């Protein structure tokens, strides 16, 4: 039973680490999307 608990705890730790990595990637994607939108707006305004 203890070995199963150790494996479960280890799995939970890996899952939490994956969740953190996913959240970081989502933030990076969101930042990139905002930069793209900003550049598109600049392009649509045309030369200054």
Model pLDDT for residues 27-47, shown as the tens digit of each residue: 999 999 999 999 999 999 988
Residue 47's pLDDT is what?
83
Residue 20 predicted with pLDDT over 80: yes
Residue 16's pLDDT is what?
97
Gyration radius of the chain's alpha carbons: 21
Q: Enumerate the domain spans of the chain.
A: 21-48
CA distance 17 to 19: 5
CA distance 7 to 1: 10
Residue 1's pLDDT is what?
66
Residue 46's pLDDT is what?
87
- Over pLDDT 70: what percentage of the chain? 96
């Amino acid at each position: 039973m203890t070995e199963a608990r150790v494996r479960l705890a280890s799995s939970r730790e890996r899952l939490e680490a994956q969740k953190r990595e996913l959240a970081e990637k989502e933030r990076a994607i969101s930042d990139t999307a905002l930069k793209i939108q900003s550049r598109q707006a600049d392009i649509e305004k045309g030369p200054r």
